[in-house]
Amino acid sequence: MSGLRTALVLCAIALPLHADLLRYWSGNADDVRPIVLKGPVLVLEGGGGDVTAGLQAAIDRIRGCTSCATKIDVVVLGTSGAGDDNPYFMKMNGVDSVLSMVITDRLSASRPDVVQDVRNAELVYFAGGDACGYIRWLKDSPVEAAVKAVFKRGGAVGGRGAGAAIQGEIAYESCPDQSTESSDALLDPFHAGVTLSRGFFEWPGMRGVITDTHFQQRDRLGRLLVFLARSRQGRPLTGLGISEGTVALVDRKGAGIVMGAGPVHLIAADSPPQRLERGSPLEHRGVSIWRFEPGETFDLQNRPLRDPKTIDVIEGKLSGDPY
């Protein structure tokens, strides 16, 4: 290797290799490639500010240590931005390099160099902002396959906001470029802003799960109930609501832990809705809600043993405070 190849890059450098692709690199240009990774783990951040302790815990989990010499490479994928995450990740213990890529077309998601860079990472992080863009440009692409390969070999995958929402089996697309309010969705579950997508990553631990973020701060319980009602197709589903400043770390089997400011909510509406019609308010009785604080654990594939809070949806209105 030449000295130029192995030199430590002290700041992120933008490399415009394609009209619709920007790359921002920080750290060591060599692929560290740890022999064994101890994951996988999903990193699901609620947005509203990163949770440093949660991200560090994910990094340490896949390294298998908290103070060893093992290093990892991070790839950040976004649909906008300018490498803003690079300095943040470079401050993490155990991070050798960070490559941020802004992907805004299907062609970029099929480029061999982009696919290889993603496949070489130990942590792939979706920077949030635009679930519609991620689904439009990355779903069923070679980059999606590369992300799955990182997870399969024991790495970490996740993101903040929209980057966490796309990790569920069913994802809210927010297409085209909108965010449905709970009040609108409850009054008409078939509101034009309620667009859902299936079959993106299909992680085993996220089977039957719909994730929403900025959860308590933006009062998103109502719209998550609509997502669940629209998607159930004869089987019970689980809603995972992650508040701002909070991260849920989830393993391959769906076992998770809450870190950060908290809380995380699990929502189950196992019985079918009493009314689910276009242009009519949602009617759904017996919705179960469990709240988990920082440090508490949960299981996305099994109902909690403790009793839930129970509310009803009557004429598109919640019968009580769900949070």
Cβ neighbourhood burial of 196 (10 Å; 0-12, 13-18, 19+)? middle
Residue pLDDT, tens place only, 252-310? 999 999 999 989 999 998 999 999 999 999 999 999 999 999 999 999 999 999 999 99
Amino acid at 175: C
Pairing of strands 209-213, 284-292: unpaired
Amino acid at 140: D
Q: What is the pTM of this model?
A: 0.91
- Whether the per-residue pLDDT at 248 is higher than 80: the answer is yes
Amino acid at 141: S
Q: What is the mean pLDDT of the chain?
A: 91
CA distances from 229 to 144, 190, 270, 272 (A): 28, 11, 10, 7
pLDDT of residue 80: 85
Structure token pair of residue 291: 């709240």
What is the spatial distance between Cα 172 and Cα 185, in angstroms, rounded to a whole number? 12
- Whether the per-residue pLDDT at 10 is higher than 80: the answer is no
Amino acid at 67: S
Q: How many CA atoms lie within 13 A of 24 on its CB side?
A: 19
Cβ neighbourhood burial of 323 (10 Å; 0-12, 13-18, 19+)? middle
